[in-house]
Each structure stands twice: as C-alpha cells, then as structure tokens.
Amino acid sequence: MSERTVVTSDGVELALHRLRAYRDGRPAALLVHGAFSNHGVWVRRAHPGGFAHYLLGRDIDVWLADLRHHGGSAREPSRGKWRFEDWILKDAPALVERVKDETDGAPLTWVGHSSGGAVGLCWQARDPANRALAAVVTFGTPGPNRVGLARRVLAAAAVGTSRALGTFPARALGLGPENEAGHILADWMSWNLRGAWRGADGFDYFAALAQVASPFLAVAGASDRVFAPPRSCVQIVEQIGSRRKALAVHRHLSHRGLLRDPRARERCWPETASWLQESVLLS
C-alpha cells in the first residue's frame, strides 16, 4: 500500500492510500470510512484483507481515504474549528480530484460506510451536474427520517457530549479506533435528529438528491437495528433521482458487520462488487 498527501482548499492535509499502482484505466473505487474510524476499517478484521482486498481481487483499482481528523490526516487544530460540511465541501472534492488525476480519469465509484456514504451523496447533491463519479455505493448509510427512539436518544447524547467536551470519546466507549472532532459529529447527529440534511447556508442536501443521476446502491444489514436499519436506508433509494438504483439487505449482518463479519464475503461483498462493475460499464 502506498500513501500520498492531498491538500484541501482550506489547507488541510489528508492521507490517501492506494493498494496497488495501475496505469491501464481500469475502474477505480474510493473507499471512505465513517465516524470513529479510518481507512483501516476496509482492510482488516472482517476477513483477512477485508473488503478493499476483495475489490482488488475483482480487478478494481482501490483507493482508501482518511478524512480530516482521522487516520494519517491532520487533526483539528483547535476546538470547534471543523464542521461536518468540511468533509463534504473540502475533503470530498480534493480526494476525488487526486484519484481522477492519478488514474487518468478512469471510472470512479465512491464507496462509503455510514456517514462516509452520506459525504459522497451530499457532495454530488451540491452539484448534480458533476460527472466525476461513475456510481455511489453506501454501506449502512441512514436517511434523515424514520428515526427510531433508540437512535434518537443515542444521537441526542452524542450531540450533547460532543459540544460539551469539544470531542467525542469513541475509543473510551468502545465505538471505534478514532475519537471524533466535536462539531463534526454534533452536526451529523443533529442532521439525523432534525430529520433533514441541511447545510449551514440552508442548502437541503437530501432534497437535492432527486437531481443526482449517478447509479446508486445502498447496502444495509438486517441486524442493524439502531445506526442504519434497512427502513432508514431505503429512504435514500426512494429520494435519489438515478434511474439505476437498488437496496440490498443482507441477513445476519450488523452495521459494523457489513465490513467486518466474515459472512459478508458470502453474498454481500460479491453482490456489491458485481453491481459496481456492471454499473461502471453501463454508465
């Protein structure tokens, strides 16, 4: 795996990793983690190699991103400096541009887990005419409505903790390897509590999904009852304007299990990779 540094429009240095160098224009996938995580979620625990190496075995050029405040990327310089929209408006375009440059414009699919999937969708929603992405795949990315009581309680607690401490102590709570920048997490959780993906300037990201034409696949775990239950994931499929869109619900898999459970290799990963390859060919 090789690493390079990507600089965003506001001068933040992001780490971008490539599993293997190719120069033949084969389809590429940019894998983007969610909250409390980093690029390592794609390459370990679920199965030797993880989903990233599974895609590599399917002849896909695999790239792994670390969003700001995660992995090898820069950490928040001061409390409250960064917001969730920085991932959307600054990190996403910088990462996509670098991958496109290094792959000579090969077809690129954004693959995001949880909030990492929302970042790719929202970036496209902000500029639906942008054709940089050939497709979008989300693993366990919930829509903003139909939020159950348990999820509302947890989201409210996360917002309060993040704002009070200026960070969210995910490591201490056993939620993942990365603590989250306070306002980044508070913004994302607030979007879910309000039932709307609305930016600081009032832009309605969720409504704008109706204008997004890129092929879209939402992958959900039937055992995910809190973070992104299938009933929450389906609303994104219903809202997005793409003519080629689908929801794949996989039995026995939880929110983390979509990437870490060995059973994901049986159906979830093969079906996702096949959809990705077919969508790129048809785009």
The highest-confidence range among 23-27, 141-145, 151-155, 213-217, by mean pLDDT, is: 213-217
Q: Rounded mean pLDDT of 212-232? A: 95
Q: Rounded mean pLDDT of 52-57? A: 95
pLDDT attached to residue 46: 42
pLDDT attached to residue 146: 60
**Beta-carbon neighbour count of residue 8 at 10 Å?**
20
Encode pLDDT of 112-125 as tens digits: 999 999 999 999 99
Query: Structural domain boundaries of the chain?
Result: 2-144+200-282
Phi-psi region of 34 (alpha: psi -120 to 50; beta: other; left: phi over 0): beta
More confident residue, 224 or 149: 224
Q: Which of 70, 44, 53, 50 is nearest to 19 (CA)?
A: 53
pLDDT over 80 at 281, yes or no: no
Q: Rounded mean pLDDT of 148-165? A: 87
Q: How many CA atoms lie within 13 Å of 245's alpha carbon, on the beta-carbon side? A: 20
Query: With respect to CATH, is domain 2-144+200-282 assigned 3.40.50.40?
Result: no
Q: Rounded mean pLDDT of 156-166? A: 93
What are the φ and ψ backbone dihedral angles of 113, each rounded to 5 degrees?
A: -100, 130
Q: Rounded mean pLDDT of 16-39? A: 92
Q: Which of 142, 184, 187, 154 is nearest to 167 (CA)?
A: 184
pTM: 0.95
pLDDT attached to residue 275: 97
